[in-house]
Amino acid sequence: RKGNVIITGASSGLGLATAKALAETGQWNVIMACRNFLKAERAAKSAGITKENYNVMHLDLASFDSVRQFVENFRRLGMPLDVLVCNAAVYLPTAKEPSFTAEGFELSVGTNHLGHFLLARLLLDDLKLSDYSSKRLIIVGSITGNTNTLAGNVPPKANLGDLRGLAGGLNGINSSPMIDGGEFDGAKAYKDSKVCNMLTMQEFHRRYHEETGVTFASLYPGCIAETGLFREHIPLFRLLFPPFQKYITKGYVSEEEAGKRLAQVVSDPTLAKSGVYWSWNKYSSSFENQLSEEASDTEKARKLWEMSEKLVGLA
């Protein structure tokens, strides 16, 4: 049978390119889990994804009700879940003030981390039931959360501190909107959320890999300088960022190539190892990359997991 894969945020950028790469093989039914139904349908059509290879389902990660509703709707379809890709993200580098999710969490961490944490925890039960040969749960990471790299050292750097802001509810009222308890900084909040994504993947691996056989993985697909992620940035940045990445850092990768990379993590039998953060070298070969000290801190991963369980209402 065809594999069933859910991709969050498949209405643009990396998620759309991955949906296209997988759909084109004819081996996958892609469930595009998107907040804007019409945009997703149009995106699938203009990318040339054929009708029999995809479905669009509504999911707004900035609302726990929507996440739970999505899981119910998916279960009602009666199809097995073989791979889940947590890809959607918001990046608000120029915001002066924080925005919040439906439940009142700072929007970047609330969407990129907490929404995905709830979704992944709920859908793990469905992955367990699948009889597919290689079941996988993938959370898209980023170099920018990794302070052991050049890109990860561009200020403001990711830093979760002692998680006091998260413990306080990240709501900007009786706690800071930032995980470390500091002043709001949109670029840092995004990087922090990516550290959370990478810590979560590893904690899933430690807790569930042996018991379930599910492969847990993260990746940095390269700098996809032209995606919508930078839509909130100032125009000059958007003009100069792609050539800067192409010619100076040489970290640039096209949406199409990045989509092929993530599609490999979904389906390539040679990338089935669990607990790995994948990257690609300049010849486009995948390798197991090292995470920064903070992104591989097991104690922090455990604390983050337990706090997140409380915040999303699972504990």
Binding site for ligand NDP (CB under 6 A): 8-9, 11-15, 34-36, 39, 59-62, 87-90, 111, 140, 142, 194, 220, 223-225, 227-229
Give me the least distance between CB of 211 and ligand NDP, in Å please.
27
Catalytic-role residue among 190, 208, 220, 277: 190
Backbone angles phi, psi at 274, to 5 degrees: -95, 150
User: Least distance in Å: CB of 1 to ligand NDP?
Assistant: 27
Q: Compare residues 87 and 202 and give the one whose CB is closer to ligand NDP.
A: 87
Note every long-range contact of 36-41, with CB atoms under 8 Å and residues 24 or more positions apart, other chains counting: 36/11, 39/11, 39/12, 40/10, 40/11
Pick between residue 130 and residue 171 the one whose CB is nearest to ligand NDP: 171
Beta strand 276-280 with 28-34 is unpaired
In whole angstroms, give the CA distance from residue 141 to residue 138.
9
Closer Cβ to ligand NDP, 60 or 82, answer by number: 60
- The helix (H) or strand (E) run that includes residue 312 is none
Assigned token pair, 285: 């070969």
Between 87 and 130, name the residue whose CB sits nearer to ligand NDP: 87
Helix locations, 8-163, DSSP H: 13-24, 37-46, 64-77, 107-109, 116-129
Instruction: Give me the residue whose beta carbon is nearest to ligand NDP.
Output: 13
Known catalytic residue at 190: yes
DSSP 93-125: TT-SS--B-TTS-BHHHIIIIIIHHHHHHHHHH
Q: Nearest CA to 305 among 193, 203, 198?
A: 203
- Considering the complex, state which of residue 274 and residue 279 has its C-beta at the smaller distance from ligand NDP: 279
Query: Can the peptide bond before residue 156 be classed as cis, meaning omega within 30 degrees of 0?
Result: yes
Q: Please list the active-site residues.
A: 190
